[in-house]
Copies of this chain bind each other. A is one copy, B any other.
Amino acid sequence: MSPDPMRTTNDKSRIAEFIDAASRLIAEKGYDRTSVRDIAQAINLTSGTMFYHFKTKDDLLEAVIKKGVDDGFQLMTEALRRAESGSLARFLALVTAHIGVVHGDLRHVHHVWLREWDRLPKEARVRLRPLAEQYRELLDNLLFALAQDGHIKADPATVRHLLLPALNWTTAWATLPDQHSRTLLAEQICAATLNQTVDTLRSLLRKETEVSRAAFLSGNSLTD
């Protein structure tokens, strides 16, 4: 369609290369200790080239964190879309997706988001904050549903304040290379959030699925 698709693709991938290299180096050494020279060198370019694609070094940092916010939110909403309808299943799906994001291909980007957010210029924080808040709402709605279904007795907002930092900090103490180990940790954390054993959580999940399918088959799922 585009008259010059390759040009566009190359431009995009150069910028993406910078974002990728920057996220790795900044995650490892910190923003202030990572020079523009370091980042450019990592993709066999020189510092001058970075200033052609980004106006300032801060703009590159903002691009890295924006990628984390955008991609992360997209992955989590997709996971919820694929999940069953019960509140427990949806909760486990969201927690699993969250762990998948911070331990997966986006882990460096997410690490930078978490660690260097305060180093962003105030204007950049103002731009990105609303996007970041979307996810908080997603989680809040889910925790509220869990409370209504009787799985959470504590204040949902406090539970969120327990859960969110814990999920983000799993990278500090756990290395989870494969999907299986991530699913396992997600179950452990969901269980701990409800103060139940993993076995109990699984049996509650089975029960929930049966009930919601029965309700669906009898046509009551929308009238309840």
Contacts and interface: CB of A to CB of B under 8 A. Distances in A.
Contacts of A168: 165
Interface in A148-180: 152-155, 158-159, 161-163, 165-166, 168-170, 173
Copy total for this chain? 2
Nearest to A117: B172
Interface in A99-153: 118-119, 152-153
A221 interface: no
Nearest to A172: B165
28 contacts: A30-B118, A30-B119, A32-B32, A32-B33, A33-B119, A152-B195, A153-B196, A153-B197, A154-B192, A154-B196, A154-B197, A155-B188, A155-B192, A155-B197, A158-B189, A158-B191, A159-B192, A161-B166, A161-B169, A161-B170, A162-B163, A162-B166, A162-B192, A163-B166, A165-B166, A165-B169, A166-B166, A193-B195
